[in-house]
Amino acid sequence: MNFKIAKLPGDGIGPEVVSQAVKAVDAVCRRFGHTAEYTFGYVGACAIDRYGDAYPEETHNICMDSDAVLFGAVGDPKYDNDPTAKVRPEQGLLAIRKKLGLYANLRPVETFRSLIDRSPLRTELVDGADFMCIRELTGGMYFGKKGREDGGNTAYDTCIYSRPEVERILKLAFEYAMRRRKHLTVVDKANVLESSRLWRQIAQEMEPQYPEVTVDYLFVDNAAMQLIRCPKVFDVIVTENTFGDILTDEASCITGSMGLLASASVGEHTSLFEPIHGSYPQAAGKNIANPLATILSAAMMFEYAFGLMEEGKAIREAVSASIDAGIVTEDLAAPSQKACSTSEVGDWVAEYIDKAK
């Protein structure tokens, strides 16, 4: 097959980590007889510098015209402490999600046995944890009406969800649970929020269509605690946009490093694959960032966008092998171990894919 991939490295460490994922994709193509054609697009702060727009039309056209989007990260500290900034790099990511209709963000949390002692949690709590967070991505407070009143001294963001928005993400979550251990946890704040009560009502209405799925309902504050207290009980978690943002950062530390968490965003148009970590500006250009989350996002790209499970598995196996061999960046290296650079990890993984025929 020939894949048209929109390559959007973005800001900070984005370009470095995306380059390593490209090496892995190319190695998979060599091994399985595919070809990949990349088209570069600007997004985030680098797009603002060039076009005055964090997600320019040109980049959108590239994405619409591709089979998948491989995304790095957006963000630049020069915007973070300026609440008056009119344009922000993050708007690029929000715009791409909205314009491509990417309403579901899939964030798998898996542990690697050889890294288990890197987790801040006790081994017996995390060993074997394996769950999927499904975060709604184009609704809620991120996209609801926001503004200022009272001469700028009162501010609001509205959490708004319609029935179709809730139904489509819950349908995806129920179906996902059917393919896994058939246990779905719906996370909300239905004791306080009306939008959460709509989520819970619709989830309860849908339950009879999936009689094999056991459904639990957890308030988000409790869910935040249970994730740390007993991460192994979870199979599929589904939640709205803001709760999902927060819970997945929390969940990422279970595995030992945020640099391991991949994600797929799927919906109406081209699917997008990105690491869940941000642009990590302190590390930009230093060749020290962990590329594995982006490389694992490329594995998800083969599986979700192209339906090629063997190809995805080849990448996953190479990543596991690199971790087992101690070929890891400084965030994962044990005190006695020499940390590898970003590109060393990328080269090792690609070479492993090439050799493992």
166, with CB counted inside 10 A (0-12, 13-18, 19+), is buried
Give the footprint of ligand IPM on residues 90-109 (CB under 6 A). 90, 93
Distance, in Å, from the CA atom of 141 to the CA atom of 146, rounded to the nearest integer, reads 8
Is 42 a residue of the active site? no
In the numeric block, which tokens belong to residue 27?
């190695």
Residues 118-137 that bind ligand IPM (CB under 6 A): none
Encoded amino acid at 207, one letter: E
Task: Give CA 307 to chain center in angstroms.
Answer: 18
What b/e sequence results for 296-330 when a residue is b if at least 16 CB atoms lie within 10 Å of its CB, and e otherwise?
bbbbbbbbbbbebeebbebbbebbbebbeeebbbb
Residues 274-293 that bind ligand IPM (CB under 6 A): 276, 278
Q: Is 221 among the residues known to form the active site?
A: yes
User: Tokens for 322?
Assistant: 């690199």
Minimum CB distance to ligand IPM, residue 97 (Å): 8
328 binds ligand IPM (CB under 6 A): no
The residues that bridge with 264 in the sheet, in sequence order, are 106, 273
Contact with ligand IPM (CB under 6 A): which of 26, 67, 216, 245?
245
Select 110 or 245, whichever has its Cβ closest to ligand IPM: 245
CB under 5 to 8 A by kind: which of ligand IPM, Mn ion, none does 93 bind?
ligand IPM
**Residue of 26, 157, 245, 347 with catalytic role:** 245
Quote the least distance from Cβ 278 to ligand IPM, whole Å. 6
Compare residues 3 and 42 and give the one whose CB is closer to ligand IPM: 42
From the list 92-100, 118-126, 215-223, 241-249, the region that binds Mn ion by CB under 5 A is: 241-249
> Is 265 strand, coil or helix?
strand
**Binding range to Mn ion, per CB under 5 A, among 37-45, 62-70, 242-250, 288-296:** 242-250
Mark whether 188 is an active-site residue: no
Instruction: Spell out the alpha helix ranges (H) of 129-270.
Output: 163-179, 194-206, 220-229, 241-252
Minimum CB distance to Mn ion, residue 249 (Å): 5
Residue 53: contacted member of Mn ion, ligand IPM, none (CB under 5 to 8 Å, by partner type): none
Q: Read off the DSSP letter of residue 278.
A: -
The residue among 245 and 344 lying less far from Mn ion, judged by its C-beta, is 245
Cβ contacts of residue 61 below 8 Å, gap of 6+? none
Annotation marks residue 313 as catalytic: no
Cβ-Cβ contacts under 8 Å for 243 (sequence gap 6 or more): 135, 187, 188, 189, 220, 223
Q: Name the residue nearer to Mn ion (CB basis): 250 or 330.
A: 250
User: Rule CB under 6 A: is residue 141 a binding residue for ligand IPM?
Assistant: no
26 is catalytic: no
Q: How far is the CB of 93 from ligand IPM (least distance, A)?
A: 5
Query: Annotated catalytic residue: which of 42, 79, 142, 161?
Result: 142
245 binds Mn ion (CB under 5 A): yes
Q: How far is the CB of 91 from ligand IPM (least distance, A)?
A: 8
Euclidean distance between CA atoms 282 and 253, whole angstroms: 19
From 65, 80, 221, 324, active-site residue: 221
H or E segment and range at residue 96: helix 90-99
Buried b (16+ CB within 10 A) or exposed e, 26-60: bbbbebeebebebbebbbbbbbbeeeebbbbeebb
237 touching ligand IPM, by CB under 6 A: no
Report, as residue numbers or ranges, the catalytic residues: 142, 189, 221, 245, 249
Q: For binding to ligand IPM (CB under 6 A), which residues are involved?
A: 90, 93, 245, 276, 278
